[in-house]
Amino acid sequence: MKLTLALLCEEARDRPEGRFDILGVFTELTAPGFPAVQDRMTAFFIMEWDADEAGTQVFRADLTAADGTRVVTIEGETEVPVRQPGSSAAQTRLALPLEKIVFPQAGPYHFDLVAGGNVHRACSLFLSERQG
């Protein structure tokens, strides 16, 4: 499995022709104090699969603080279709809405995506305390 896109945004909407509209991409958030609650955000991932990975694939996405504390874990599975030789790679596109995420302290956070037997550092987020 190859992770081809990973980001955090306000919203990701699926369109009928197979495209996504991604709104409000961010890598940093501020809060008046900690612990802080983010009411809504969306984690968006695109994974490409090798031909020998067709079938049911289990995945897990962990949002983790710098000290190793897991803030949230998302688990699921995806069905990877068999692709004909010469065609594009099979893809899984995940738009995962998250609500009421509690960040215990200021500092760096990141998502790790576990899929296809590997751990991929997906995307990062920095939380800071709002001044003034």
Helices (H), 3-130: none
pTM of the model: 0.92
Residue by residue, pLDDT tens for the chain (132 residues) are: 999 999 999 999 989 888 999 999 999 999 999 999 999 999 999 999 999 999 999 999 999 999 999 999 999 999 999 998 888 999 999 999 999 999 999 999 999 999 988 999 999 999 999 987
Going by C-alpha positions, the residue among 22, 75, 81, 74 that lies closest to residue 50 is 81
Cα distance between residue 100 and residue 88, in whole Å: 37
Cα distance between residue 46 and residue 92, in whole Å: 6
Going by C-alpha positions, the residue among 37, 94, 101 that lies closest to residue 63 is 101
Read off the CATH number of the domain in which 104 is found: 2.60.40.1930
Number of domains in the chain: 1
- CB neighbourhood size of 73 (10 A): 12
Cβ contacts of residue 110 below 8 Å, gap of 6+?
63, 64, 121, 122, 123, 124, 125
Cβ burial, residue 38 (10 Å; 0-12/13-18/19+): middle
Structural domain boundaries enclosing 103: 2-129
